[in-house]
Structure 1
């Protein structure tokens, strides 16, 4: 049987139990893992998870500019999110950070409120979807935000039938963890909160 190259992800048949997942914060020391995940075939290098980040301009921003913006945040020590690792390979991402590090996420947002962290994005490679990785990432993101001092976690998921914003997660996944809805952001995104 041919050996799998060290750069490839485990296939569905080889996936180990979710209990073997390890979660790490994206920081200067783990930046290469973040880059490798985003630059892998099928990875989200088209956005570098900057859709909700503060950028100088949103007009005609190229991929390399988005990457530079995200790398600058990491270099400055700004929290940006967590990675999931399985058997030494990076297999997922969740953008979880203080809400003020993002641009305005809903019209009802009260910018004077402190201690709010936002979850705005999930990425799991296509070969690993449907096995609970996004739910495991959500659990780890909740733990991470509260460990870092969040009083409230806010998220903006959609219904499973939504044609867009699916990268923000599905509403039912958040409801199952005790999030309650406080309103809508646009016509598709539910604003949901979890307090400590």
Structure 2
């Protein structure tokens, strides 16, 4: 925090609460039939970090906190659909997070429907 302003935030919750994640053809589409309705499958769908807070490890802190939060609230699986790399120096596209951050947290790639956009899972 910088005074009264948060340095960043992350959206996390049951996959069922993120309808756009469940559309067929999306890189984040469910792997199995009916998974879009399972309340114990959660997703980290996006991040926002103020520019002054970037490159300081905040994404790692948010993901670690998200894992704990999901575990405490009954999640069985936690998913993310990050971007492997961005060629844009302004990090356009990294609102979904970096694959490297999720790998370091213990997530495993389970599908890659579009190059550079794996669907990753963490078992709680």
User: Which of the five TM-score ranges fits, normalised by the shorter chain?
Assistant: 0.7 to 0.9
Q: Shift of residue 132 of structure 1?
A: 0.9
Contact 2:15/2:43 (<8 A) preserved:
yes
DSSP 3-state at the match of 2:9:
strand
Alignment counterpart, residue 175 of structure 1, candidates 84, 94, 103: 103
Contact 2:77/2:121 (<8 A) preserved:
yes
Give structure 2 stretches of 5+ with no counterpart.
none
Are 1:156 and 2:81 matched, yes or no? yes
Bigger RCO of structures 1 and 2 (CA < 8 A, at least 6 apart) = 2
Q: Could you report, residue by residue, the CA deviation over 1:9-28 in whole angstroms, capped at 9, with x for unpaired residues?
A: 73xxxxxxxxxxxxxxxxxx
Q: Shift of residue 143 of structure 1?
A: 0.9
What is the RMSD of the two structures over their aligned residues, measured on CA atoms?
2.0
Q: What is the aligned residue count?
A: 112
Q: Shift of residue 111 of structure 1?
A: 4.9
Q: Shift of residue 99 of structure 1?
A: 0.2
TM-score w.r.t. the length of structure 1 is 0.52
Contact 2:8/2:53 (<8 A) preserved:
no
134-143 or 158-167: bigger deviation? 158-167
Q: Could you report, residue by residue, the CA deviation over 1:92-115 in whole angstroms, capped at 9, with x for unpaired residues?
A: 110101001112153453352321
* Counterpart residue number, 2:34: 112
DSSP 3-state at the match of 1:90:
coil
Post-superposition, which runs of at least 4 consecutive aligned residues in structure 1 deviate over 6 A?
A: none
Q: How does 1:22-101 map to 2 (within 5 A)?
A: 89-101=5-17
